Amino acid sequence: MINFNYETDFNIENEDQLATWLTGVISNEGFKLEEINYVFCDDEYLHKLNVEFLDHDTLTDIISFDYTVGKLIQGDIFISVERVKDNAKDFEQNFDKELQRVIVHGVLHYCGYKDKTDDESKLMREKEDFYINQLV
C-alpha cells in the first residue's frame, strides 16, 4: 500500500496513478510492496528531520527511512515541496517531472540503488529517467 500524506498546503491529484506506477517500479526491480508512506512537507519540516535524525544542518528535497526486510519494501519518504520547486527551476525542469524524479528516487533507494559515487549517481539517474518515461 502506498499512502500520500500532506503536512503543507499541497496535494497530488493523481495519487492512484502514481501508486500504480510505483508498485510497478518495485515489482520490476524484483521486490514486493508492503507499505510506503509519502509525506509532503515544507523546508522547515524536512530541515528539522534532517537535523534530528541525520545530524545534517542543510536543506534537502527528500529524506527516506527504509524499513525494508529482504524483498519486502517498507518505508517513510519525506519530500519538501519547496525544494522540489526550487530544484525544478534550477534544473530548468517542470515541477511535475521533478516531483516524479524525487518520488521514484526514494523507491529506488529501497530497491538497493545508491547515489554516493559518480557511477552510482549515473545509474540512479538512468533508472529515474527510465521509470519516469514509463509514467505517461
Instruction: List the binding residues for Zn(2+).
Output: 105, 109, 115
DSSP 44-55: HHHHHHHHHHH-
Binding residues: 105, 109, 115
Q: Give the span between the Cα atoms of 81 and 53, in whole angstroms.
A: 20
Helix (H) or strand (E) segment spanning residue 35: strand 32-41
How many residues are given for the chain? Answer: 136
The amino acid at 102: V
User: 111 with 70: CB under 8 angstroms?
Assistant: no
Give the E-state strand segments of 46-136 in sequence order. 62-66, 72-80
Cell numbers representing residue 31 in the block:
521486490
Amino acid found at 80: S
